[in-house]
Amino acid sequence: MIDFSQPTPVILSEVRLITPTRRELVLNMGPQHPSTHGVLRVRLTLEGETVIACDPVIGYLHRGVEKLGESHRYAQFVPWTDRTDYVAAPSNNLGYVLAVEKLCGIQAPERAQYWRMIMAELTRIASHLVWLGTHALDIGALSVSLYTFRDRELILDIFEKFCGARLTTNMMEIGGFSREIPPDLPEMVREFCRYFPKAIRQYEDLLTENPIWLARTKGVGVIEPEVAINYGLTGACLRGSGVNYDVRKAMPYLLYDRVEFEVPLGTHGDVYDRYLVRMEEMRQSIRIIEQCLEQVPTDGPLMAYESPYVIPPHKNVMTTAEDMQRHFIWVIKGFSPPKGEVYHAVEHSKGELGYYIVSDGSPIPYRLRIRSPDFVNLQSLPYMAQGAMLADIVALIGTIDIVLGSVDR
């Protein structure tokens, strides 16, 4: 366990320009490589099969989302957040709408907050399932991906039932949800919670004590806790090294202080520990969802309609002149939050996802910064890769859990 009574030591990041000597070879891996999880390119300097230096080259999926955020009104940007980390869209929505709600000083009703938690935790499971399937596939366990993608379908069905979309959900809105919860949705989620622990046991049977899996993951890609903190890692990359930082516990948002769950921590900081941490996180997510389903009120508002920053209810728009005018202004001009700046972070499935918004009092954000967790976490790849074997590079890329849409934004 790390001792915080002393300052965390500084890790000098070694930068090596790629000038191979006679014994070395520069190998270009990617951007079109099946195990780089998208369009990541890694320039490797090899001596034999040992990696001497590693330089990740990113930006192949850069779409300028932050620039687009500075030209859209606040509510128009929510669909764009889906496209940053496209395997965990509701969590991105959540981070953005919470930042805007903090800027405006509004809070979603209790029922909406519970449903946001349920959707965020389902997203975490879905994202971890994609990670587990592809990570195992990279290392050579082909069959795991068939099981994980089978079970991810159940979560996508829940999303589809709720909002009509499976991948780019555009689920959350500023102020809550404007759609009513479908009446059979709680039962669908309950059914999933009953089923999913069995599925986790299946994955664990395939991997946790599998000698090939152990040989490929144990002792590979070790990050010491001091290094993890100094690199600014978050999420399972940080907790796998044994540092207890989970935004849900450290700075509870929504109603995470009302549910009980534990933060799994690793001890060695290697690929295997991060695997165990994520497996346990899925179990804890199921715990959170079950508690939410018990506590969530069955009736009540889903949107903070009393706030001037929130779109008025559809029924009133159609029946009262006052609300029709407000709705018109809200759609045509948008709403203007107070001047100021906020940073709000949520615990995304990959780490701390933060939105930093500077408002100048106009309906368009003056500056919208997305602190994406995988961009920062990917920096640890050169550290982990030094001295590793070439075949371990795919395990190291997989263990960081990157989605290039989120890295490049």
Partner 1 sequence: MSEPRYRAAVSDTSPWDTTGYWGPTDAEQHPAVRLVRERFPAAFQEVVAFRDEVTIRVARQALRDVVDFLRTHPELRYNHLTDITAVDMLYLRERPRFDVVVQLYSIPRRQRLRIKCGVDDGETVPSLVPIFAGANWLERECFDMFGIVFEGHPDLRRILLPEDWDEGHPLRKDYPLRGYRDYVQPGFEAPAPRIRGTLRRPGP
Q: Which is nearer to partner 1, 253 or 275 (CB)?
A: 253
Residue 240 to residues 161, 247, 251, 399, Cα–Cα distance (Å) = 34, 15, 20, 10
Give the integer Cα–Cα distance in Å for 124 and 91. 8
Task: List, in sequence order, every residue forming a beta bridge with 308; answer none if it has no partner.
Answer: none
Q: Which is nearer to partner 1, 250 or 318 (CB)?
A: 250
Closest approach, Cβ 315 to partner 1, in A, equals 16
Closest approach, Cβ 192 to partner 1, in A, equals 29
Q: Which is nearer to partner 1, 136 or 228 (CB)?
A: 228
Q: Which is nearer to partner 1, 68 or 293 (CB)?
A: 68
Residue 331 to residues 106, 312, 320, 384, 396, Cα–Cα distance (Å) = 19, 10, 17, 49, 46
- Encode 50-85: b = buried (16+ Cβ within 10 Å), e = exposed: ebbbbbbebeebeeebbeebeebbbbebbebbbbbb
Closest approach, Cβ 263 to partner 1, in A, equals 13
Closest approach, Cβ 57 to partner 1, in A, equals 9
Q: Which is nearer to partner 1, 14 or 299 (CB)?
A: 14
The answer to whether the CB of 133 falls within 8 A of the CB of 202 is no
CB neighbours (10 Å) of residue 333?
11
Q: Which is nearer to partner 1, 286 or 396 (CB)?
A: 396
Closest approach, Cβ 112 to partner 1, in A, equals 13
Closest approach, Cβ 377 to partner 1, in A, equals 9
Rounded to the nearest 10 degrees, the angle between the axes of helix 185-207 and helix 271-295 is 160
Tokens of 105: 């000083």
Q: Which is nearer to partner 1, 123 or 380 (CB)?
A: 380
Closest approach, Cβ 8 to partner 1, in A, equals 4
Q: Which is nearer to partner 1, 188 or 358 (CB)?
A: 358
Binding residues vs partner 1 (CB under 8 A) = 4-5, 7-8, 10-13, 15, 58-59, 62, 64, 66-68, 70-71, 102-107, 227, 229-233, 243-245, 250-253, 257, 304, 306-309, 322, 326, 340-343, 345, 352, 354, 356, 358, 360-364, 366-367, 369, 371, 375-376, 378-379, 383, 408-409
**CA nearest to 399, candidates 293, 247, 310, 268:** 268
Q: Which is nearer to partner 1, 351 or 398 (CB)?
A: 351
Q: Which ranges constitute the DSSP H helices of 140-224?
A: 142-163, 185-207, 211-217
Closest approach, Cβ 261 to partner 1, in A, equals 16
Q: What is the largest CA-CA distance in the chain?
A: 79
In terms of Cβ atoms closer than 10 Å to its own Cβ (0-12, 13-18, 19+), residue 330 is: buried
The answer to whether the CB of 106 falls within 8 A of the CB of 310 is yes
Position 310: which residue type? V
Closest approach, Cβ 9 to partner 1, in A, equals 10
| Eight-class DSSP state of 102 | H
Sign, Cα dihedral of 211, 213, 219, 225 = negative
Closest approach, Cβ 107 to partner 1, in A, equals 5
Q: Which is nearer to partner 1, 178 or 208 (CB)?
A: 178
